[in-house]
Amino acid sequence: MGLAFLAAIYVCWKMARLYEIDEERILDLGILAFFGGMIGARLYFVLTHLALFDNLQKIVLISRYPGLSLWGGLTGGILALWFFSSRSKLNFWQLADFAAAGLLLALSLGDLGCLLGGCYYGQVSGSFLATSVAGVIGKRFPLAALESLTLLLAYFWVGKQVVRYHFAGKIIAVVLLILGSVKFIFEFFRGDAIYLASIGISEGHLWSIGSLAVGLAIFYNRSKRSFFDDSAALVNLPFSPKKRKAVLLYLRKNWYNFVVDWRIKGAKLGEFLKLAPKNLKRRLNVKSTPKNLS
């Protein structure tokens, strides 16, 4: 959790420098949003596990009586950021975009912590990917590890979008859509999911659907686009040769850019590995032994 917070606050600080926003105020807001998230995460967990908390001491002593909720923390963090950014007369949507990018990296690191601590584990599995989890009997599907990798890849993609021109609020909307989609899919493999008997789906699925709905609402509200017009265009896409051609051209261009980008990265990595031994010797001031001592 500590590493996740530091990583997220570093991303926000870096974005603030890029956009020439007061860095100290961003750090202050980041700390306040973190505590807001912690309070929200703890309160939601306590409310959904009242049988485990019969006195105030158990609620306060998190290290002795652990338990935090991602969705409660996300809600509390967003509310705290909105409240304190308005008090500081800063653009909430711009700050939310910074925080959203940092959130993906923080959640990726948090999943690794859960993998080691056994707080977020998959169902019993006999596959070659199955692994032992602390405090749980039997080998489990590596849910936390795969989700961590997925969110890390999403962070690298979103990080590029933040530095490009976009309307304020777009990044937080996209991150909520990504988070809702990832959590909805991985919820099926979760070993500790809480299912609601009345509707037959888990509590996590409801929050994931809520995240998708809020992400869509923010996107269309901030972009001033029409959801119904976009839906109609999507339905008519198979029947319009011109639109199909435009979509295919767009996908082809993006695929080309993706391939070229990774080829360049691969070439740089190869060059780095090739020069790594030489650079390491130079940094360590290691000199080769002369072959001719005469």
Instruction: Name the pairing type of β-strands 201-202 and 195-196.
Output: antiparallel
Q: Pick the most confident of 71-85, 238-252, 262-276.
A: 71-85
Please determine, for residue 201, whether its predicted confidence score (pLDDT) is greater than 70. Answer: yes
Q: What is the pTM of this model?
A: 0.80
Q: What is the mean pLDDT of residues 116-135?
A: 80
Percent over 70 (pLDDT), the chain: 96
Please determine, for residue 34, whether its predicted confidence score (pLDDT) is greater than 80. Answer: yes
Q: What is the mean pLDDT of residues 84-105?
A: 89
Q: What is the mean pLDDT of residues 34-44?
A: 90
Give the pLDDT of residue 172: 93
Percent over 90 (pLDDT), the chain: 22
Please determine, for residue 170, whether its predicted confidence score (pLDDT) is greater than 70. Answer: yes
Give the pLDDT of residue 292: 60
Please determine, for residue 287, whether its predicted confidence score (pLDDT) is greater than 90. Answer: no
Question: In whole angstroms, what is the distance from residue 76 CA to residue 17 CA?
Answer: 26
Please determine, for residue 275, whether its predicted confidence score (pLDDT) is greater than 90. Answer: no
Give the pLDDT of residue 173: 94
Q: How confident is the model at residue 184 (pLDDT cuts 50, 70, 90)?
A: very high
